[in-house]
Structure formats: structure tokens, C-alpha cells
Structure 1
């Protein structure tokens, strides 16, 4: 009898099983099964139209799935009512959009604190201060989004996504509209959030250079997970993040 211990079981804070999402006759996702380990940075790399954003939206319950399951921290997202889905997104998920999705009439501080306000929950002030200082927003708290560069707007969006200490941060092309310097700053912060705070991050991108900041890179094409394509370019947009 072999008494040697087997491999340690990886704790998945989020997973999809046989995930299918159809838009009419077109399947955006075709049986996608992925497990995401706690404290890991995963990049989903694929061309436009591969189903990357659809995958994140289904994971967050922003789009209903056609079949399959999404489990976040032990909760089956696909079985939740609209009200419970909203609560899960508010309390256990952080979402960073390419377009920032900040409220223009609120200040930077009000935007960051918004999820806590909606939940009628007190923000951890020490953690708030850590995020604000790490993202260089201390002098910008009283400003509104229109007063900020795109790079700073994305930093505000990241602070808002992280302020409630979510189980998972979902980042949808977070550097897509940023210049090279701002893009590197955003990616470095996401990398640091994983390394320093044990945050779980799932990011989708079409740029291999952006994906290289992650611990693990998965390839999605035509709605399916695929092996890494041979001879993949170092970057689809080399001018965006070049040194």
C-alpha cells in the first residue's frame, strides 16, 4: 500500500463547470470548465469575439447562463434570485471594467465608498487608507471623474472593486483604453494585490504582454478553452505596454 501523501487539494474560490452561453443559435461559450485558486492571478487570453467578456459576465451573474454552473465561494451563482445575485456581487465580487463605470456626479472618495454605502456597511478605514495610498489617490479624493486622466479613473475603479475585500476581482480588459505608463501601473497594482494581500484576480485580455503579469494564462478561442497557439506574438499591441 502506498502511504505517501497525495497532491494537496487546491482550494478553488471560484469555478465554472460545463458553462454554455448561447445568443440565439450562436454559442459564445461552449462547455467552459475552469477552477480559480484562492490568491492566484489568472489571465484569460483570446482574440476579440472569443467569449472572454461573456465568461466574466456569466461568472458575475450579469448574464444568465444557458447551461452549466458557476460557483463563487461555495455559492452556485446560476441558482440565485436577482436580489441574492445583487447581494453576492456587492459583497463578494469586485469588477473592474474597461470603461471604468464611475458615477460622474460623485467624488473619487464617494465612488470608492459606494459599495459600502449600498450595503449599509461600514468601510474598514485602515484598508481604505491602504488602497488610496497604494493607488496614489490621496490628493484626488475630492475630485470628480471628469477631472482625472483615464489611468487615474481606472485606479479609482480598482479601489472601488477592492474596498470590500471581495472573494474574487474580475477585470475585463482593464488596460484596454490606457496608455503604456498607465497600463503598467494598473497591472502592477493588480499583481501587487495578489502578492501582498492574497487577492484572487481573474482578468481577460487580448494582449499576451498584459497576460504575462498573471500566474496562469488560459487561452479561449471561439468559446472554448484551447491549447496555447504555436508562435503566438509577444504582444498584439506592442506600442501600448512597451518600456
Structure 2
């Protein structure tokens, strides 16, 4: 995943806090039927204008306004798309992912190619991952599905995109649909990196750390370079009281990165072992 963009490695206590901010679902231990817990509240679509006019510093807003003014006056589709790409890039640089997605969507509307449709869908998925407001989460999830499903209709083998669509459902009022999609992905490709990672995260969130450790063990077996998977395998061992395994796993993570946030988080766990 990418982006995902979805989980941020921070100090141990914050990392666990992030897990509890994920959709509350339960995945049973024997991989049978999943049971949905709390459903996401129903929400209405927020105002798009408000989303892509998110407040920024004055000097940045002036720079963005200059490009936006050119965009508004541009009739040529190709030049319009280039300007929209520029705006999206600027908004991404300042962390305004919903605004970036909005302009990539405008480009996709002007030039409706599969590449641009996918680009808009991926941008909305990135914004979805960072959204905190229930209404915005629902809106961005719907936008993600509307674009990525168009690509999947033409190329149903794109499991990377199917995983993203699945995760938007997990955060909806119908989480079972998302979990079912993730299971289908793993049935088709048992080594799928995104599928294994997300199923592991969902197991952690529901408190099933033994099951989570099994998922992350599979993940790092096939994708040993996945730092987040290696880290959360250690957390899963820690929370399931497999202390010896946890210690070895966190020491392994220490040797994989020089990122101070990751190392601080690992050290906080090691101190508690």
C-alpha cells in the first residue's frame, strides 16, 4: 500500500492510538466469517468548494491563486490538464491531499483517459487516508471508488487498486464488503503485500494480536523489506505476550532503518519488555 500511505510509525503509544482510530471490525481467528462491529455513521457529501479551498499560508495561497487563475481561463484541454497537474502537485507538497485530488479530477474530466482516471482515484485514496472528519472520509471513499472502479472494470486483475477500494469499504457502514474483497484478493494472490498488511492491521485493531502476528509473519516472509509490516509484527508479538519473539523482532527493525521516529518507537517497546 502505499501511501499508502495509511499507518504512520510514531512513538509506541501513538502507534497504538492510530490503530484504534481505524474502523472497528472483528476478524475471527480461524478465517471464517468476519463480524462487523461499530459502523461508520451515515454522512452527507461535504461541500467540494470548501474542500479544495482549504486554508493555507498567504504566500502559498497567492502562488496557488496565480496558477488557478490561468486554469480558469484555459480552454485548451491539454494545457488545462497540465495546469491542473501543477496545482495538484503544489497542494500535495503542502499536505492538502483533498485539494490535490480535486484538481486531478478536473483534469480527468477534461481528458478522460484510463491513466488520468486512475491518477484521480489514487489521489482521492491518498486524501481518504489522511481524512479525520466522518463526512470527509465518506466523501473521499466514494470518490476513490467511483474512479478506481472504472479502471477495474477494464482491468480486473489490478489487485493493487482492488485493495484500495476494499479499504474504503472497511471504513464505511458496510465493512463486511471490504473484508470480503480483501479475502478474495488473498485467495487470488496469497502473497499480496497490501492484502496481508491490511488484514494484519484489522486484526490488531480488533485486539486479535495472535492472528495479527500470523498475518504479519506471512507478509514479511514474502516481503521482508516491508518496514511497517516488520514493526507491527513486533507490536503483535508484544501485545500477545510473546516477549522473546517481540524482542528479537524489534531488534531486527532497529537494523533496518535509521529513521529516528521508528527507532524511538522501537526503543519504547524494548524498554517495556
TM over 0.5: no
Based on CA coordinates, which of the two structures has the bigger radius of gyration? 2
* Higher helix proportion (structure 1 or 2): 2
Q: TM-score, normalised by structure 2?
A: 0.29
Bigger relative contact order, structure 1 or 2, given CA contacts below 8 A and separation 6+? 1
Q: TM-score, normalised by structure 1?
A: 0.32
* Higher strand proportion (structure 1 or 2): 1
